[in-house]
Each structure stands twice: as structure tokens, then as C-alpha cells.
Amino acid sequence: MKQLWRLLPVKLVVLSCFFITSANSQRPVSVRLVGGSKPNLGVVEVTMSTGAVGRICNLGFDNNGASVVCAMLGYRGVTGLKVDLPPYTVGNTNTVMAISGCPDFLEASTSTWNLETACRYVVSSFPPDCAGNGRDAAVICTGTQTTSTPGPTLPPDFATIAPIDCNNTITSLRLDPGPEEGLVLIQNGSLGGDNFGTICAAGFSAIEAATICRMLCRNETANAIGMSGKYLTTAASYPVMLSGLKCPAGATSTNDCKHNGWGAAPSYCTPNTAVSVRCSQISLTPPPIPAPFVVCHLYVANVFFTYTDVASASLLSLYGTYNETTCNFTKNENSTTVWATVPYIGCNSVQTTNATHVIYTSMLYRNVTAVSGVYVDVPYIIPVECAIPKLKEVTAALLPDARTAPPITGGDSYTSEVKLYRSYNARGFSSEIAPGDRLVVGSRIYARVRETSPLNVRLTVRNCWASDKSDGTGASYYVVRNKCATDANSVFRVDEKNIGINFAVMSFTQTVSTQAYIFCDVTICTPTDPDERCLQTCGTAVRRRRKRQLSTENEKESSQQPSRGPYILTAMTAMDVEASRAASIADATLLWLMTTALVAAVAWNTFSSVFIH
Ligand SMILES: *[C@@H]1O[C@H](CO)[C@@H](O)[C@H](O)[C@H]1NC(C)=O
Ligand SMILES: *[C@@H]1O[C@H](CO)[C@@H](O)[C@H](O)[C@H]1NC(C)=O
Ligand SMILES: *[C@@H]1O[C@H](CO)[C@@H](O)[C@H](O)[C@H]1NC(C)=O
Ligand SMILES: *[C@@H]1O[C@H](CO)[C@@H](O)[C@H](O)[C@H]1NC(C)=O
Ligand SMILES: *[C@@H]1O[C@H](CO)[C@@H](O)[C@H](O)[C@H]1NC(C)=O
Ligand SMILES: *[C@@H]1O[C@H](CO)[C@@H](O)[C@H](O)[C@H]1NC(C)=O
Ligand SMILES: *[C@@H]1O[C@H](CO)[C@@H](O)[C@H](O)[C@H]1NC(C)=O
Ligand SMILES: *[C@@H]1O[C@H](CO)[C@@H](O)[C@H](O)[C@H]1NC(C)=O
């Protein structure tokens, strides 16, 4: 033993090596007090790992040594004091170990609460002084006794199990199945080895649960709870190992706790009352809120759910009643995904708008199914939004061109086009100018800017300009700027989706055979959007107000827009078209507003249901 060379002269070092094997099998494993007048006072009797029982020869056994003995007996706080007692010559009187001191004892460290680790000792070759019982170590224990009454007949190692080392595999305690939760299985602190058993749940509180979790090196012990009635099948194959476990708050080991002794269990403690522990917090989060992936394309919302969110296509429906003749709602599924397609049109989708987007909101309903007769999920109403940006740029010209604006994230696009015509009348535009057609500079032609989607939206042209480059970056000439036609040109609304522009063909160089292109910035809005960008009127609100005082304000108005020519107030200006339309669509507008209000109310209720869930 390493202790040997400290205790004995250096010349015995070689001898110490000789002892290693046998010394290892001779360790002190348990103690008790004998021959005293009280349970906490007596001569120390020690049991060796070989089974030998006897006395400790005092070759420097001090209060540290006494404290080790008392700690092994279950005393805590201020513990052992070395005492001198008259020799006690009853029982196992032979010397089985000699202790020269216990310098490694630390009251705060349970791993030093045993003679083997705290003390320097030999188990043979005792000095002559150890003969007889005159030097037998004796102690009195003070402090708090934390295990059941120790006495002369205490079972060995009553209080201790192997100290926990969180850096190594913990072998004396485990949760089955673990790691967060399981049946507590603890090794018989006396027998060691494969002798595991359960802990009785009677009296087992959060403090004991936290102790177990600390011993398992879990640091989230604030959530530790002990439960009974779980993992009973596992429990049935183990004996009850501990009962009456009572720990002080903050205990880091069962060695700090009272209990009834290894294997000792009252009759009410059976495997059926075995305790299980959960060390980490139980998740209180509700089932996930369905979070679909939405792709809006060509006026249809494609909504994809994972199976976690929607377990089957049969659970998915369009919320509320709808007309199956007008609404082509479809749904489908494969092994990983459930999806639905909801057209914006005909399926009760609500059309709204904000400053930048036109938004279509559809409501999907996720139903629930009973599991074992109960519902563990809540039904959800899932609003699905497709947003279409109002602003975009379209290009066309002598080469008529239809473009699709790139969709925003989760958004759709709409299509608009610019085409050129030689004439326009109440029946519409005619004599389309084909790509490559030659145009006489200075002649007047028409551009038609058109929203081609089936959506119920209003198109507004913000800017249109001619350029000599196909990407619009070359020389430019505006025919419409900030919704106002320039020079002798004019801009007019044909209907909600068609804007006409009349302008003179221009050339950017003297060589008139070069190509020219027309570019337009357009805006789409809902028909009732009051946003001034949605009105195809130059100067918007100001002009609208002045319209009522047209005769007196006309001159002033013109002077405020010097870039505008006299054509601006022809019968086909936007303002006039809108004014003439106003009376005829008044009833329809009222109806539309009422309908919108009704739909909005339904939508509001729907949303509040979502929030309630
Ligand atoms: C465990 O390891 C940490 C660092 O890895 C060390 O600080 C600590 O002292 C070790 N504990 C024991 C009991 O060895
Ligand atoms: C446990 O404690 C360590 C060190 O303090 C910390 O890094 C770790 O996050 C803690 N774990 C939990 C689950 O709280
Ligand atoms: C635990 O060890 C003690 C002491 O050796 C023994 O009396 C008891 O029967 C053991 N109990 C179990 C359940 O292993
Ligand atoms: C459904 O729509 C069709 C076509 O608009 C219409 O003829 C029919 O009356 C509607 N059915 C109901 C129940 O509203
Ligand atoms: C309905 O939509 C599906 C795709 O979602 C399409 O295949 C089908 O042709 C549509 N039916 C009608 C009548 O539009
Ligand atoms: C299921 O459908 C989704 C959406 O169409 C697709 O992304 C996925 O690859 C499909 N999975 C299988 C296994 O077919
Ligand atoms: C308008 O709505 C769309 C879609 O919800 C959103 O992305 C956009 O930021 C909104 N614009 C404003 C100005 O609130
Ligand atoms: C939900 O599912 C149940 C059972 O299949 C069905 O009776 C009920 O009508 C469904 N609810 C809705 C709103 O679809």
C-alpha cells in the first residue's frame, strides 16, 4: 500500500510492493462502536473486506480519524472526537489494522468519509505496541445522526454508497430507461456488485428527487420530480433496496440522507411502490400550430403541410361552406406531405389590400381525430395569405411583350402587358402594330396597358416612357410621368384593367429607322382602394376636389401642371372617364362595399377563433 512507506522506514518500500495484492483485498469496509455506555460512544470495531473483524491500533488516530468513523456511521455536522476508554476485551479483540492518521478527511467531501481513502494505515506487520487492546481506537460521535440508530450491531457500511464521480460512468445509480426519466435503481451500498434495487416512493419528495438527479450529475434539478406507478414491469424484477429515504435540502448524495437500511423495507414498500424520477422539466408545450408552406402561383394558393402538422388529407378542408360549382378546392397526400390547392377566386377568399400589396386570404380547417376515445389536439383554422405586389414594371413596345413579375416570398404575381395600336374607339383598340412595323415619326398611336389576370383588381399606370434600348436604360422620353401624360399625350382609363395612352411616335436620333421601346410602371389595387396611387388621375386628390369647381379652377390647374398639354382634358382623360362611370357604377359600388363588410366580419370572427385556440 502507498500508506506503508509513509508510516514505516524507507527500507520497507520493497516490502510494500510485496503487499499490494493482499492489501487490496484487505480494505476496511464498515465500522461500529462496541463497549460504550451509549450508542454514539465506544471502541471502534472494523470489518475488513476479507471478512475479518477486529480493532484499530492507534498509531496516530486523531479526531480526523474519529470523524471518519462517525461519518461512516451516519453522523453529520460536527462529528467524531477521539476518546480514551478502558480496554474492551469482549468479542473480536484482535487488531486488523493500524492507523497513523487520517489527513485526507474533508468534512465537505463524501468521498473521504471512509477509512480507506482518508487514512494512512497498514493491515499487517503491526508494531509491537499494537499487541493487546491498550491502543484500540475509541470515539464519541456528535453532530446530527442522519441514518437510523447506529449501535454496536449496525450492519456494515450502513450509510455509504460509492461516491459519485460525474467525470466517470456512474455505476451505483441509474434511471431505467433514462436519461431524463426512469425507475430509480440503486446499488446495495453494502454489497456493491450487481445488487440493484428500487427506492420506495413513500415519503419521497422533490428534495429526494433532486438528490437523485444531482447524483446523476444533472444540473437542472429544479424540475426534479418523483413519481410512482410508472415502469412497474421493470420494478417487478428488482427488490426494494431503500425505504424511508429522507434527505436534507440540497443533499448531493444518499449518504447525506436518512433511510431504513439497505434492503430494509416496511411491508407497504413493494416493487409496485417503487419510485421513478424525472430530472428535467416536463414539456408543457401544446401540439404544434400547423405551419404550412405556401406557394402562390397563377391565382391558386398551394398549401403544403408535413404529417406532423396534418396527419392525413382527410383532416383538411376549406373552412366554412362554399359553392363547389365555383370553387375548385382540391387536396391530396403522399407518404410525407399533405397539400391543398385553393383558388383565390370562387372559394370565399377574402381580398384585402394594404399600401404595397393586394392580399388574398383563404381559411383552411384542420380537423382532429380521437385517439383512444379522447382528443389530444385542437382543431385549427389556418389563414393562408397570398400577397401580390401592387407595383411592378412591364415592358412592351413595337415588340409586344407580356411579362410576369417575380413573385415575392410566398406571394403570387400578376400579368400585365403593353401593346400598341393604330386606333381606339368605344369598341376598343384595333389595328395592332406588330413587331417590326415601321411607324412614321410624329404620327399618333395608342398604347394599351392591360392587367391580364382574372383577379378583381384595378390597374393604374404610374410611368410610361419610350427608350431606344430594349432594357430601358438608353435615351428616354416619358409619355406618362407620375400618372400624368406629358406634352400633347394623354392617358385614360378604359376600364379597371385597361389603361390607354395616346402619344406621338418619337425618334431619338435623326436616323428614324432605329427601334423604340415603351416601358410602363404599373400598380394594381383592389377596385375600392382609396390609396391615391390606385387612382389613374394626374394630381389625384387635388384634381378630384377641383373637378367640382372646374370652370373657375381650370386655368390655375393647367398652370400648376405646365408639362401637360391641352389634351389632358379631352373626353377620354382618366378623370372624365371615372366621372362618367361614377353614376352608373354607384349601385354596384354600394353592393361591393356591403359585401366586403360582410366578408370582413366573417373573417374577423374566424381569426378570433384562431386566437382562442
Ligand atoms: C471532472 O472534470 C472537470 C473538468 O473536466 C474537473 O474540473 C473536475 O475536477 C473533475 N472532477 C473530478 C471529481 O475528477
Ligand atoms: C449544466 O451546467 C453546465 C455547466 O454549468 C452548463 O454548461 C450546462 O448548460 C448546464 N445544463 C443544463 C441542462 O442546464
Ligand atoms: C443489501 O445488503 C445488505 C447487507 O449486506 C443485506 O443485508 C441486504 O439483504 C441487501 N439487500 C438487497 C436488497 O440486496
Ligand atoms: C353555386 O354557383 C353556381 C354558379 O355560380 C350557381 O349557379 C349556384 O346557384 C350556386 N349554388 C349555391 C348553392 O349557391
Ligand atoms: C381543379 O384543380 C385541379 C388541380 O388542383 C386541376 O387538375 C383540375 O383540372 C381543376 N378542375 C377544374 C374543373 O378546374
Ligand atoms: C410528397 O409530396 C411533396 C409535395 O409535392 C414532395 O415534395 C415530396 O417529395 C413527396 N414525397 C414523396 C415521398 O413522394
Ligand atoms: C402588405 O401585406 C403584405 C403581405 O402580408 C406584407 O408583406 C407587406 O409588408 C404589407 N405592406 C405594408 C406596408 O404593411
Ligand atoms: C371533423 O371530423 C369529424 C369526424 O370525422 C366529422 O364528423 C366532422 O364533421 C369534422 N368537422 C369538420 C368541421 O369537418
Percent of the chain with pLDDT over 70: 71
If one compares 268 and 29, the residue with the highest pLDDT of the two is: 29
* Alpha carbon nearest to ligand 8 atom 2, residue: 367
| Range in 166-180, 270-284, 598-612 the model is least confident about | 598-612
To test the pocket of ligand 1, the residue of 167, 215, 253 to mutate (highest count of ligand atoms within 8 Å of its CB) is 167
Say whether pLDDT at 148 is over 90: no
Q: What are residue 297's DSSP bridge partners? A: 300
Say whether pLDDT at 401 is over 50: no
**What amino acid is encoded at 124 in this protein?**
S
pLDDT at 548: 29
Say whether pLDDT at 14 is over 70: no
Residue 48's Cα: distance from chain center in Å? 55
**Ligand nearest to C-alpha 368:** 8
Summarised one tens digit per residue, pLDDT across range 244-295 is 888 888 888 887 788 888 888 888 788 888 898 888 876 655 567 788 888 8
Question: Is 604 in a helix, a strand, or coil?
Answer: helix
C-beta of residue 341 within 8 angstroms of C-beta of residue 301: yes
pLDDT at 287: 65
Summarised one tens digit per residue, pLDDT across range 534-588 is 776 665 432 333 332 323 222 222 222 212 211 111 222 222 223 323 322 222 2
Q: Across residues 295-307, what is the average pLDDT?
A: 89
If one compares 107 and 392, the residue with the highest pLDDT of the two is: 107
C-beta of residue 384 within 8 angstroms of C-beta of residue 294: yes
Q: What is the mean pLDDT of the chain?
A: 72
Pick the most confident of 92-101, 376-385, 543-552: 92-101
Distance in angstroms (rounded) separating the CA atoms of residues 298 and 308 = 28
To test the pocket of ligand 2, the residue of 219, 220, 278 to mutate (highest count of ligand atoms within 8 Å of its CB) is 219
- Which phi and psi (to 5°) does residue 153 adopt? -110, 20
Q: Could you tell me the distance, in angstroms and rounded to a whole number, from the CA of residue 291 to the centre of ligand 5?
A: 25
* Alpha carbon nearest to ligand 1 atom 10, residue: 167
- Output the ligand 7 site: residues, CB below 6 A: 354-357, 359, 385, 387
| Range in 97-106, 139-148, 200-209, 567-576 the model is least confident about | 567-576
C-beta of residue 451 within 8 angstroms of C-beta of residue 497: yes
Pick the most confident of 96-100, 128-132, 227-231: 96-100
Q: Could you tell me the distance, in angstroms and rounded to a whole number, from the CA of residue 596 to the centre of ligand 8?
A: 29
To test the pocket of ligand 3, the residue of 154, 161, 191, 200 to mutate (highest count of ligand atoms within 8 Å of its CB) is 191
Q: How confident is the model at residue 166 (pLDDT cuts 50, 70, 90)?
A: confident
Distance in angstroms (rounded) separating the CA atoms of residues 71 and 256 = 10
Distance in angstroms (rounded) separating the CA atoms of residues 570 and 468 = 29
Q: Across residues 332-342, what is the average pLDDT?
A: 95
pLDDT at 474: 72
Say whether pLDDT at 610 is over 60: no
Summarised one tens digit per residue, pLDDT across range 42-94 is 999 998 888 889 999 999 998 899 999 988 888 877 678 888 888 898 888 99
pLDDT at 550: 28
If one compares 414 and 497, the residue with the highest pLDDT of the two is: 497
**Ligand nearest to C-alpha 375:** 8
If one compares 230 and 404, the residue with the highest pLDDT of the two is: 230
pLDDT at 580: 29
Say whether pLDDT at 21 is over 80: no
Q: Across residues 186-204, what is the average pLDDT?
A: 84
If one compares 484 and 349, the residue with the highest pLDDT of the two is: 349
Q: Across residues 158-177, what is the average pLDDT?
A: 72
Q: How confident is the model at residue 376 (pLDDT cuts 50, 70, 90)?
A: low
pLDDT at 114: 87
pLDDT at 210: 87
| Among candidate residues 133, 108, 141, the one with its CA nearest the CA of residue 38 | 141
pLDDT at 334: 94
Question: Is 160 in a helix, a strand, or coil?
Answer: coil
Q: Across residues 523-534, what is the average pLDDT?
A: 76
Distance in angstroms (rounded) separating the CA atoms of residues 81 and 157 = 20
pLDDT at 46: 93
Distance in angstroms (rounded) separating the CA atoms of residues 253 and 170 = 13
pLDDT at 145: 73
pLDDT at 609: 23
Distance in angstroms (rounded) separating the CA atoms of residues 413 and 455 = 11
Ramachandran assignment for 206, one of left (phi > 0), alpha (psi -120 to 50 degrees), beta (any other): alpha
Percent of the chain with pLDDT over 90: 16
Distance in angstroms (rounded) separating the CA atoms of residues 204 and 50 = 36
* Residue 570 CB coordination number (10 Å): 11
Residue 91's Cα: distance from chain center in Å? 67
